[in-house]
Amino acid sequence: MFKNARLRLAALNVLVFGLLLLLLGFAAYGIFSSHIYSGADAELRHDEDLALAQLRLEGYAPTMAFGNVLKAIPNEYRALLFSPAGSVLETSDTNCNLIVTFYTCQDYPVPPTSKDGLHTVLQQNSRAGAAWQPGDAFTMSTIGDLRTDHFQREPYRVLTFSVAVDGTVNSIFQFGRTVAGEESALAELRILLFFGGALGLLLAAVASLFLADRALVPISQAFARQRQFTADASHELRTPLALIRANAEMLYRHESTATSPDGELVGEIIRETEHLNRMVGDLLTLARADTESLKLISKPLDFRNLVSGVHEDLQTIATSRGISTNVSLDGRVMVLGDETRLRQLLLILLDNALKYTDSGGEVKVSVRKEDGRARLVVSDTGIGIPPKDLPHIFERFYRVDRAREHESGGTGLGLAIARWIVQAHHGSIKVDSESGRGSRFQVDLPTL
């Protein structure tokens, strides 16, 4: 019973821990990856400043300035200079293979980032108008676009910026700096987070199971005490109940009481004691089943004999209630089971069928071998069970119609006991029912 609770508790712990790990992992990775490029970005911005300073120094002559700009840029950088039309004016890389211009180098595949970058920069700045002429008013401004891109499988941090003079784009620069080191650090972080997370989850699962075990100890102890108490109380109640009943019966048999008005009251005491006795007996059975002190005494038996025996026993009650019965026994059906308990199961199902069927109705019992199992079916044409109650009828003290409970004489524990008996025999029990049309209980047990 606590096995499921333990697993559920542990699973919940692992789920919460996993979500926290995931959240932390994403946060750590996000912060790390947004900071890891800051060094490269600062350097690229610095180079942009250098390039602009150089251009200002030279009075803005891009083609000439570029050579000097390149001189100011460290060797590990690559740089391109485009015209506004996209043609490469100058490059630090003679193969034009850093970022391929999308106007001139059309034979090459165009890396999307650089194409987008160029588009963005061009759209932001391009304006139809006369190109800058020496001697024109010279107000220089730039708009940059910074991103990471892969070129020839090598990761680059790329800064694309255009230089506009009096609002007209005159040149576009693109600087790239390899960020292979940063990328591999990020890849290592990903691996670390993945395996660290997996290991964390594994440890969390083990720790959760251990903690769930510890947390459940007091609960299961309290539960066991509760069960023991129910078993002890039921047991202790039996003797005084038997005494009350015996005394009341003696009183009833006494001639003067039987004929006096008190006779009615004594009769009521006997009936109530009888009901209480049954309930205490049922409670004791369930409490002992819970504490696992009720052991089955199994032996091979023919299920048909058991059914016809119980049917015979109940025949008188059925006749007195005006209910017809029908038994169908089909071939030998051998099971390994506890005769007393299986008899009790049959009594519960048949007694219910008779209890909840009105006069003129019919109760059918059949036993046969089906799919290698012994199948017992008890069906009636009685009041049936409403669909909303069906999932609960095997619960302890559950009754569909509480108003009728006293009149029926039931304890509300019969089907709970029936289910326990079936489960103890490694079988299954199910019910189909329709209000006003009857019920059908089916029990499947392993055969020999």
The residues of the shown chain that bind ligand ADP, judged by CB under 6 A, are 348, 352-353, 356, 380, 382-385, 393, 398-401, 405, 408, 410-416, 439
Classify the C-alpha dihedral 49-53-56-62 as positive or negative: negative
Q: Rounded distance, CA 216 to CA 380, Å? A: 44
CB of 441 to ligand ADP, least distance (A): 7
Q: Rounded distance, CA 433 to CA 385, Å? A: 6
CB of 278 to ligand ADP, least distance (A): 9
Q: How far is CA 353 from CA 333, 357, 408, 419, 441, in A?
A: 23, 6, 12, 16, 9
Nearer to ligand ADP (CB atom), residue 162 or residue 439: 439
CB of 5 to ligand ADP, least distance (A): 25
The closest residue (CB) to ligand ADP is: 410
Which long-range CB contacts under 8 A does 266-274 form with residues at least 24 apart?
269/244, 270/245, 273/241, 273/244, 273/245, 273/248, 274/245
Nearer to ligand ADP (CB atom), residue 330 or residue 434: 434
Nearer to ligand ADP (CB atom), residue 288 or residue 399: 399
Nearer to ligand ADP (CB atom), residue 303 or residue 394: 394
CB of 305 to ligand ADP, least distance (A): 23
Nearer to ligand ADP (CB atom), residue 13 or residue 285: 285
Say if residues 337 and 307 touch (Cβ distance below 8 Å): no
Nearer to ligand ADP (CB atom), residue 6 or residue 355: 355
CB of 364 to ligand ADP, least distance (A): 12
CB of 25 to ligand ADP, least distance (A): 52
The pairing of beta strand 140-151 with beta strand 428-434: unpaired
Nearer to ligand ADP (CB atom), residue 40 or residue 417: 417
Q: Rounded distance, CA 269 to CA 275, Å? A: 10
CB of 304 to ligand ADP, least distance (A): 22
Any idea what DSSP says for residue 126?
-
Please provide the DSSP assignment of 346-408 as one string: HHHHHHHHHHTS-TT-EEEEEEEEETTEEEEEEEE-SS---TTTGGGTTSTT--S-GGGHHHH
